[in-house]
Amino acid sequence: MRTAGTPHRRGRVVVVTGASGGVGRATVRAFAARGDKVALLARGREGLAAAADEAERAGGEALVVPVDVSDAKAVDAAAQQVVDAYGHIDVWVNNAFTGVFAPFTEVHPDEFRRVTEVTYLGYVFGTRAALRHMLPRDRGTIVQVGSALAYRGIPLQSAYCGAKHAIQGFNESLRCELLHARSGVRTTMVQLPGLNTPQFDWVLNRMPGQARPVAPVYQPEVAARAIVHASSHARRREYWVGGSTAATLLANAVIPALLDRYLARTNVDAQQEEGRPEGPANLWSPADGPHGRDFGAHGRFDDESTAGGPQQWLSRNRGRLGVALTAGAGALAFRKLAGQARR
């Protein structure tokens, strides 16, 4: 962990919000393994301390900054603390979130507001803080960690889906403004599938069963690799991670009404299983706070989770794949025309 007077190692300066657990925790390790200097922003002190130790052991440098991202002034102060320590910010990853698993009519107004403040406004405030330091340098990358739910709402997660939709629209608007200004600052979004993270043991849950991700389930390291890749290839407007994400977004673009009926029939049961969560919800205070414990990056679904798949390669190489498909289609058309000419 960085202290005053510690010499800087080579590598980028990266800020990760929601760094104490789940995808944020895995992303911290992935950046640290590259030798980057990583600022860890989150509320949970136990998770932050453990994440910082992992980052140091992975070969990076960690700066712990406890903060609630729903507090705009605190996020600004956190960004300034990073700049004071490292001189600038190269990459800012917005990832922090919270949620409620319940029918919309059972989500209280203050709970809906809290999810929106953390999951949506936390991204807005983080982006503003990053831009304050990136725009004068005319360089830097902001990665918005999204979800298939940024395009496709599902039952029992109305507050979270609403926030992710809002992030999508906000980021598109910002991207257009940066392009108009011919800015060297980039923003991109990474849309994620269901992941094996601890969130399903600490979200506020009013379902009959214990919360779980919709299958297929991916390990958080899959998301982390995509986020690190996006941070270095931010000219792409977004990346889709996981075959389920691609299938959901494509189906939503083509047959949204049919998808409504399918999700209504299947996704209430698909998001829960037998049992009840043991720990307290983290909506108002972190589950890994002073009296909590470190939850790490993984949830309880290791046995059914996959660590990769071909879709992520396809997403990264979409342009190359398009050229190959076009060339293949052209070759097939040429052979067909040649055959017709011979007949």
CA 199, CA 28: separation in Å to the nearest integer?
Answer: 17
CA 86, CA 229: separation in Å to the nearest integer?
Answer: 22
CA 334, CA 327: separation in Å to the nearest integer?
Answer: 10
CA 168, CA 189: separation in Å to the nearest integer?
Answer: 8
* Active-site pick, 86, 120, 123, 160: 160
**Dihedral, 243, 247, 250, 255 alpha carbons, nearest 10:** 180
Contact 193, 242 (CB under 8 A): yes
Q: Is 160 among the residues known to form the active site?
A: yes
How far from 43 is each of 73, 211, 304, CA to CA, in Å? 15, 22, 29
Pairing of strands 210-211, 272-273: antiparallel
Measured N-to-C along each axis, helices 22-32 and 220-232 cross at an angle, to the nearest 10 degrees, of 50
CA torsion sign for 150, 46, 66, 34 is negative
CA 82, CA 79: separation in Å to the nearest integer?
Answer: 5
Active site residues: 160
